[in-house]
Amino acid sequence: MDTARRSARDWLADYDARLTRAAEGAEAASAGLREVGGTASSPRGEVTVSVGASGALEDLRLTPAARALEADALARLILNTARQAQHAVGTQVIDIMTRYLGDGPALDMVKANLPEVAK
């Protein structure tokens, strides 16, 4: 019986240690994700876009040179620049979650829920 108790205590201590490591890893991942963001500028600098962790637009800056562009060209430039910023965010999210989850089904689920431009 003494060996069984020791074995159960060892198992419980090991389980508790794994839970503690998992909680610490989750907190580290959460802290890293709170810091995620991306900024990109168009090749000639007319447009600069910043996005948050979700890829949502947070800031858009246009230089005077942007006024020289046709409306459709400016719209395409803004969208392309936003996609570049979103890609940067997706890369950061994947890096953080890879450190936390490792390769496997959970990471695949994270990747599947990122915008297409980030994968």
Q: Could you state, in order of their start, the residue ranges of all structural domains in the chain?
A: 1-35, 36-118
Examine the pLDDT at 68 and tell me if it is beyond 70: yes
CATH topology for the 36-118 domain: Ybab; Chain: A; (3.30.1310)
Spell out a b/e string for 63-74, using b for 16 or more CB atoms within 10 Å of the CB, else e.
eeebeebeeeeb
What gap in Å lies between CA 65 and CA 58, rounded to an integer?
A: 21
d(Cα 57, Cα 87) in Å, to the nearest integer?
A: 13
pLDDT digits (tens, 9 = 90+) for 7-43: 888 888 888 888 888 888 778 778 888 888 999 999 9
- Enter the pTM of the model: 0.72
Q: Do 85 and 51 touch, CB atoms closer than 8 A? A: yes
